[in-house]
């Protein structure tokens, strides 16, 4: 019986997409948490250094999810097609499908459709969701740095508690707000410096303004540089400056090109009078568009590479795919940098690598369209697999010699 009649077009498409879906979800499930975890560790260090609440780390990490999802999606999509086709090639299902009269062009069609859909998803993520999420992340970082001392006063550490004001205490009781051995140094706007020390103190909430705090200091001294270095001793002193529980307002969105949506980038580039230079806006706009368009080209390379990554070559296929995507990513990044500094137009340095990447995919797919013979990636993956095997052999031999 002819396999073409057993596998109608839609049934074949569903079968291929099912083979791709599981590796895609597994790849996203592995790559995305790894990227986010690295940033979470850095955020924890930042929040701990400023004495802020650790709960804010989760909010900041959630704001970065669209950014990391847009980064992980191309790699996960490419590897999922490579894995699915490698499994089908190892089980000789590809040979059976091609022997029925179907071409490689027919096999790649459902993956290209998925790539076009993911290109639209990438446009939504990088063009509209990510700019707002990035601004929210920066606002959260600003809030954590500005108001961290309120949530986490620690003994034996200096804290910036306001513009030009530094706080220190040997002992802090967060439950009662009691302080001991307090040191406060303030630099006023006119250049005068005031240094206050106290044996004891308390942090109290202002009854008239619940969102404000005040320091009540006991048994201390106050040195004012504007009064010829005179020292004032006091029994009780309430600082006449309020320390707000609310952080200062973060700047408006749009001062950075990565905080602008695609529509805002286009209008700002057309008007040319915004806070961001036009060539920087152009690099950001074309960079987002070319990365989204690249999603539809990935299947053209991933499918032939997956057909060549048969049993024993999957590791080599993953290695070659990773190198290919990294080189392409950094080529685009270098092109965007050249556009940002105003040296070149975005067409030659941003879209020409995309054109070359697309041309390579079309050429590889055309070479792989034959029903028999070696594909364009067979020799490359065979050499990579041999190199990996040699490395494993010499590494195992080195370990045995050390043991």
Highest mean pLDDT among 79-88, 227-236, 290-299: 290-299
Residue carrying the six token digits 């045995």: 400
pLDDT tens-place string over residues 116-138: 999 999 999 999 999 999 998 88
Statement to judge: residues 94 and 187 lie in one domain: no
Kindly state the helix (H) or strand (E) to which residue 13 belongs, with its residue range. helix 9-50
What is the pLDDT averaged over residues 195-208?
Answer: 81
Which residues pair with residue 221 across a beta bridge?
Answer: 197, 233
In this predicted structure, the answer to whether residue 7 has a pLDDT above a threshold of 60 is no
What is the pLDDT averaged over residues 350-364?
Answer: 89
| In contact, 90 and 49? CB cutoff 8 Å | no
Statement to judge: residues 200 and 257 lie in one domain: no
pLDDT of residue 297: 93
Distances (CA, A) of 192 to 54, 164, 222, 223, 347: 36, 11, 13, 11, 56
Who wins on pLDDT, 378 or 80?
80
| In contact, 67 and 134? CB cutoff 8 Å | yes
Q: Mean pLDDT for the chain?
A: 79
pLDDT of residue 12: 85
Statement to judge: residues 9 and 118 lie in one domain: yes
Kindly state the percentage of the chain with pLDDT values over 90.
18
In this predicted structure, the answer to whether residue 3 has a pLDDT above a threshold of 60 is no
pLDDT of residue 358: 92
What is the pLDDT averaged over residues 84-108?
Answer: 82
Number of structural domains (the chain) is 2
Question: What residues make up the domain containing 210?
Answer: 154-244
pLDDT of residue 77: 94
Statement to judge: residues 131 and 176 lie in one domain: no
Statement to judge: residues 338 and 235 lie in one domain: no
pLDDT tens-place string over residues 284-322: 999 999 999 999 999 998 888 877 766 555 556 667 777
- Domain end position, chosen among 193, 209, 244: 244
Cα distance between residue 209 and residue 16, in whole Å? 64
Statement to judge: residues 128 and 266 lie in one domain: yes
Strands 165-173 and 159-162: antiparallel
What is the pLDDT averaged over residues 212-236?
Answer: 81
Which residues pair with residue 244 across a beta bridge?
Answer: 212
Statement to judge: residues 223 and 354 lie in one domain: no
Statement to judge: residues 201 and 90 lie in one domain: no
Statement to judge: residues 122 and 194 lie in one domain: no
The span from the first CA to the last CA of the chain, in angstroms, equals: 59
pLDDT-derived band at 389, boundaries 50, 70, 90? low
- Domain end position, chosen among 203, 225, 244: 244
CB atoms near residue 377 (< 10 Å): 24
381 CB burial (10 A radius; 0-12, 13-18, 19+): buried
Cα distance between residue 397 and residue 384, in whole Å? 20
pLDDT-derived band at 6, boundaries 50, 70, 90? very low
Strands 178-187 and 165-173: antiparallel
What is the pLDDT averaged over residues 17-40?
Answer: 88
pTM: 0.70
In this predicted structure, the answer to whether residue 85 has a pLDDT above a threshold of 80 is yes
Q: Which of 239, 249, 281, 240 is nearest to 264 (CA)?
A: 281
- Domain end position, chosen among 244, 279, 297: 244
What is the pLDDT averaged over residues 383-389?
Answer: 57
In this predicted structure, the answer to whether residue 181 has a pLDDT above a threshold of 80 is yes
pLDDT of residue 382: 56
What is the pLDDT averaged over residues 136-149?
Answer: 71
Q: 61-77 b/e with 16+ CB inside 10 Å = b?
A: bebbbbbbbbbbbbbbb
| In contact, 135 and 60? CB cutoff 8 Å | no
């Amino acid at each position: 019986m002819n396999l073409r009649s057993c596998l109608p077009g839609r049934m074949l498409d569903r079968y291929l997409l099912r083979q791709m879906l599981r590796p895609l979800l597994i790849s996203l499930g592995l790559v995305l948490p790894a990227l986010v975890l690295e940033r979470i560790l850095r955020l924890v260090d930042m929040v701990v250094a400023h004495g802020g609440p650790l709960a804010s780390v989760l909010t900041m990490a959630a704001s970065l999810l669209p950014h990391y999802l847009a980064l992980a999606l191309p790699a996960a999509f490419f590897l999922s097609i490579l894995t699915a086709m490698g499994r089908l090639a190892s089980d000789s299902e590809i040979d059976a499908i091609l022997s029925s009269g179907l071409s490689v062009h027919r096999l790649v069609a459902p993956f290209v459709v998925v790539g076009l859909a993911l290109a639209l998803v990438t446009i939504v993520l990088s063009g509209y969701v990510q700019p707002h999420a990035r601004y929210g992340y920066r606002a959260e970082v600003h809030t954590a740095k500005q108001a961290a001392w309120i949530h986490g006063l620690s003994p034996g550490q200096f804290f910036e508690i306001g513009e030009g004001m530094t706080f220190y205490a040997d002992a802090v009781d967060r439950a009662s707000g009691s302080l001991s051995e307090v040191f406060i140094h303030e630099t006023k706007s006119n250049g005068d410096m005031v240094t206050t020390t106290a044996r004891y103190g308390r942090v109290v909430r202002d009854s008239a303004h619940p969102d404000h705090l005040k320091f009540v200091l006991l048994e201390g001294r106050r040195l004012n540089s504007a009064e010829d270095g005179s020292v004032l001793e006091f029994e009780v002193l309430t600082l006449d400056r309020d320390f707000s529980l609310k952080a200062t307002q973060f700047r408006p969105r749009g001062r950075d090109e990565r905080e602008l949506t695609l529509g805002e980038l286009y209008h700002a580039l057309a008007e040319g009078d915004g806070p961001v230079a036009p060539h920087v806006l152009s690099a950001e706009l074309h960079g987002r568009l070319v990365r989204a368009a690249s999603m539809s080209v990935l299947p053209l390379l991933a499918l032939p590479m997956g057909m060549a990554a048969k049993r024993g070559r999957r590791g080599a296929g993953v290695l070659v795919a990773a190198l290919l995507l990294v080189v392409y990513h950094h080529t685009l990044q270098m092109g965007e940098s050249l556009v940002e500094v105003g040296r070149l137009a975005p067409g030659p340095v941003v879209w020409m690598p995309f054109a070359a990447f697309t041309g390579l995919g079309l050429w590889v797919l055309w070479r792989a369209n034959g029903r028999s013979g070696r594909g364009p990636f067979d020799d490359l993956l065979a050499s990579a697999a041999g190199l990996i095997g040699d490395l494993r052999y010499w590494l195992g031999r080195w370990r045995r010699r050390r043991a």
